[in-house]
Amino acid sequence: LYIKAARTMGSTGWDLFRRVIFPASIPYAVTGARLAWAFAWRALMAGELLSTGPGLGYTLRYASDFGNMALVIGVMIIIGVIGTIVDQIIFQRIEKSVLQRWGLES
């Protein structure tokens, strides 16, 4: 709809991209980055579960193997807190500011 309206007003080529297509794609790119972060965080934790080096995943597996449930729960809480902080504080703020900037927030 916006592309048709811009073309009706004489916008073509680079001007159409710069003024209509690119701004319309920004909210989707931010949402994609937020989802990519979530999947990357899960993949990182899965990879660390298989590793032999230091990290939260290895610590979780080590504690689980030796029955240290207090450490297992502690590591699970740390993993959840880090994921929530990055999602809520960083990505949600970016997404909200982009939506407000382009007038897409209800």
pLDDT, tens digit (0-9, with 9 covering 90-100), for 38-96: 999 989 888 888 888 888 888 999 999 999 999 999 999 999 999 899 988 998 888 88
Is 80 within a domain? Answer: yes
| 102, two tokens | 């382009």
Is 64 within a domain? Answer: yes
pLDDT, tens digit (0-9, with 9 covering 90-100), for 10-40: 888 888 888 788 888 888 898 899 999 999 9
Is 22 within a domain? Answer: no
Domain count, the chain: 1
Instruction: Decide: pTM greater than 0.85.
Output: no
Is 49 within a domain? Answer: yes
Is 61 within a domain? Answer: yes
Is 20 within a domain? Answer: no
> What pLDDT is recorded for position 70?
96
Whole-number Å distance between alpha carbons of 91 and 33:
8
Task: Bin 48: left if φ > 0, else alpha if -120 < ψ < 50, else beta.
Answer: alpha
Domain coverage including residue 84: 27-101
Is 10 within a domain? Answer: no
